[in-house]
């Protein structure tokens, strides 16, 4: 990775999300990781724990949002950014809007359930009362490769 990329905060924080995704991979979970950051401070992190918790809502984003709201003691995360290795699904995209995040930064696009540009764009839907800025494709190659490796191992 180049020095310019390391100095870019989006790449720096996506690396933290990738480390979370690798934790999921090690537990045989779909390798998705997320981290919520505000003013250069991590408020919460998470990785998929759907299988371990037998909970269909235990997505990386949901766990990171819960940790972040616990940290702040507030249901709102004004001014915060969530970094996710995979484009959020409709549930997670909705939660990101409800939490009032400022930014969503994701790595890989999700052709099957992406709800932040691919199939839907929930965070920027003009009918909703809050809109989230989106930056996509950050560390996309690494995020995609991690997912491809996981699914190749499962076959």
- Mind telling me the catalytic residues? 61
SS3 113: coil
- Sorted by sequence, the CB contacts under 8 Å of residue 98 that are 6+ apart come out as 75, 130
Decide if 83 contacts 10 (C-beta within 8 A). Answer: yes
How big is the chain, counted in residues? 155
- The closest of 140, 145, 148, 99 to 118, measured between CA atoms, is 140
């Amino acid at each position: 990775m180049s020095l310019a990329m390391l100095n870019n905060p989006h790449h720096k924080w996506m690396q933290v999300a990738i480390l979370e995704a690798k934790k999921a991979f090690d537990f045989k979970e779909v390798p998705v990781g997320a981290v919520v950051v505000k003013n250069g401070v991590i408020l919460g992190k998470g990785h998929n724990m759907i299988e371990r918790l037998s909970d269909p809502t235990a997505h990386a984003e949901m766990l990171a949002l819960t940790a972040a709201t616990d940290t702040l003691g507030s249901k709102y995360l004004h001014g915060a950014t969530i970094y996710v290795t995979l484009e959020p699904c409709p549930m997670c995209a909705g939660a990101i809007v409800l939490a009032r995040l400022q930014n969503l930064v994701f790595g890989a696009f999700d052709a099957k359930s992406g709800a932040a540009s691919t199939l839907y764009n929930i965070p920027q839907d003009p009918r909703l009362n809050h809109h989230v800025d989106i930056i996509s494709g950050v560390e996309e190659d690494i995020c995609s490769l991690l997912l491809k490796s996981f699914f190749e191992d499962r076959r």
